[in-house]
Amino acid sequence: MKTELKFYTIEEICKGFIYNELEGKGLFGLNGRLTIQPEYQRNYIYADGRKDVAVIDSILKGYPIGLIYFVKTPDSRLEILDGQQRITSIGRFVTRRFAIEINDRFQYLDSLPKDVAQNFLQTKLTFYECEGTETEIKEWFKTINIAGVPLNEQELLNAIYSGPFVTKAKEYFSNSRNAKIMIWSDFIVGKVNRQDYLKTALEWISFHQKITVEQYMGQHRNDDNIVELQGYFDEVINWIDSTFKKIIPELRGLEWGRIYETYHRNPYNVDESWNRIEELLDDDFVTNRKGIFEYVLGGEQDKTLLNIRIFDERTKKSVYKKQTDEAEKEHKSNCPLCALSDTTNKTKIWKISEMDADHVTAWSKGGSTDITNCQMLCKTHNRAKGNK
Ligand SMILES: [Zn+2]
């Protein structure tokens, strides 16, 4: 890959700057020769009144804003590889999209003193112009250290697999104007503009097809539609929506792709199950509330999903002491099950470290996790009882 160091003034860069308000991205600069947001770039996220202001502030104070990388395309045009956020901030300031506060007054570029505005426009920024194969450039883009907000994993994948498929997928899953986001956000956690919904959709379909997200994106890179991705995503969302009677916060961010694949073929009574879910949500011994849905979907088999509260150390010590004192008096084992056995352990006094706490009446049969329902068993007997 070839790289060349270049300097352009802000005025040159911002000549013909176009900002698309609807899509939230800067499009062109350098009098049309520069594409500010090529397909593999993420949306503009600096417009928060802090990061965009900080860029302008740095320039006015003469601080460096970091290197900006361009890619030279075969037809001698330029695309921004890294620096889109900074260039868009500068372009928006030059075209009066936002003002900055100086001496307690909000000022646009043209309300600044003439010499300050002129200095700003004549500031030379440093650029690297790179030329190379698509593979080289994308590989490099993956590894460069990006100032500001680092790209997350999905943004990197979008860059690496850029093409018609990613463009279409972003229009649907990464578009905050899509009214469906409201519904999706009942079950999915994340930010639309950081590609979290697209990431989820890709994770679900790749789980379904038993491949990785990267493989899926590679296979579909040149597709001109997202019918399959969208269809499967909608199917999972509809299933969640019709399986649970109410929308509650605990439903957000579960591994729905895996849960759907595992349980959607099972017969399921929506009303009864919801009653059971509400009971478990009220149960103080259930410490993992998010596991309740899968526990009920699976026919209440896997209690580890609920992370049932265990006995605390004080309770264990106190029960151990009581059992051991009694056992020593009666010359029998302090494990009640060993004491009943015909083995050499019949009279063995176990150390506390060799024993575990057990629910006399199991939690699933209504037994509580307090001292009245606690007994200490040797590890062997506790394990044997737990397996039943
Ligand atoms: Zn025992």
Chain-centroid distance of CA 148 in Å reads 19
Contact 140, 194 (CB under 8 A): no
Distance 106 CA to ligand 1 centre (A): 77
Question: With 70 as the cut, is the pLDDT of residue 256 above it?
Answer: yes
pLDDT tens string 337-349: 999 998 899 999 9
pLDDT classification of 331: cutoffs 50, 70, 90? very high
Distance 338 CA to ligand 1 centre (A): 4
Distance 328 CA to ligand 1 centre (A): 15
pLDDT tens string 135-152: 777 776 666 545 445 667
Distance 333 CA to ligand 1 centre (A): 8
Distance 337 CA to ligand 1 centre (A): 5
pLDDT tens string 79-97: 888 888 899 999 999 999 9
pLDDT classification of 40: cutoffs 50, 70, 90? low
Half-sphere exposure (CA, 13 Å, Cβ side) for 103? 3
> What mean pLDDT do residues 6-24 have?
86
Distance 365 CA to ligand 1 centre (A): 23
Interatomic CA distance for residues 325 and 331, integer angstroms: 10
pLDDT at residue number 148: 47
Contact 98, 52 (CB under 8 A): yes
pLDDT at residue number 347: 94
Distance 340 CA to ligand 1 centre (A): 9
> Which has the closest alpha carbon to 82: 190, 156, 7, 181?
156
